[in-house]
A = this chain, B = another copy of it.
Amino acid sequence: MPDSQLTRRHVLAGSASALTAIGLASWTRGGAAQTAAAKPLPAYVAWKDPGAMIVHSSNTVETKRSAYGSSVVTPSDQLYIRNNLPPPGDDIVADRDAWQVAIGGVRNPRTLSVGELKTMGLETVAMVLQCSGNGRGFFPNKPSGTPWQVGAAGCVVWSGVPVRTVVEALGGVAGGMKYMTSTGGEKLPEGIDPKSVMVERSVPLDAMADALLAWELNDDPIPLAHGGPLRVIVPGYNGVNNVKYVKALAFTAEQSDAAIQKTGYRQSPPGSKGDPSQPSIWAMAPKSWINSPLPDGRPKAGLVQIAGVAFGGINAVKSVEVSTDGGKTWKQARFIGPDLGRYAWRPFVLAAKLERGNYTLTSRATDAQGIVQDENRIENTSGYINSSWRDHAVQVAVA
Q: Which residues of B contact A300 (CB under 8 A)?
A: 119
A216 CB-CB contact with B under 8 Å: yes
A240 CB-CB contact with B under 8 Å: no
Q: Which residues of B contact A77 (CB under 8 A)?
A: 77
**Interface 9-mer from A33-41, A84-92, A340-348:** A340-348
A120 CB-CB contact with B under 8 Å: yes
Q: Is the CB of B71 within 8 A of A216?
A: yes
In the bound assembly, the distance between CA atoms of A185 and B76 in angstroms comes to 30
Q: Is the CB of A122 within 8 A of B68?
A: no
Q: Which residues of B contact A17 (CB under 8 A)?
A: none
A95 CB-CB contact with B under 8 Å: no
With A69-B219, A219-B68 known as contacts, the answer to whether A123 contacts B336 (CB < 8 A) is: yes
| Contacting residue for A118 out of B126, B158, B305, CB 8 A | B305
Q: Which residues of B contact A123 (CB under 8 A)?
A: 336-337
A220 CB-CB contact with B under 8 Å: yes
Per the CB 8 Å criterion, the residue count for chain A at the interface is 45
Q: Which residues of B contact A75 (CB under 8 A)?
A: 75-76, 218-220
In the bound assembly, the distance between CA atoms of A158 and B125 in angstroms comes to 20
In the bound assembly, the distance between CA atoms of A125 and B338 in angstroms comes to 7
A19 CB-CB contact with B under 8 Å: no
Residue in A121, A307, A338, A344 with the greatest tally of chain B CB atoms within 10 Å? A338
**What 0/1 pattern do residues 115 to 149 of A give for CB contact below 8 A with B?**
00011111111100000000000000000000000
Q: Is the CB of B71 within 8 A of A217?
A: yes
Q: Is the CB of A338 within 8 A of B119?
A: no
**Closest chain B residue to A158 by CB distance?**
B71
In the bound assembly, the distance between CA atoms of A304 and B122 in angstroms comes to 10
A254 CB-CB contact with B under 8 Å: no
**What 0/1 pattern do residues 53 to 80 of A give for CB contact below 8 A with B?**
0000000000000001111111111100
A residues lining the B interface (CB < 8 Å): 68-78, 118-126, 157-159, 216-220, 299-300, 302-305, 307, 336-341, 344, 347, 349, 351
The 6 closest A-B pairs by CB, nearest first: A124-B337, A69-B219, A71-B157, A338-B340, A71-B219, A70-B159
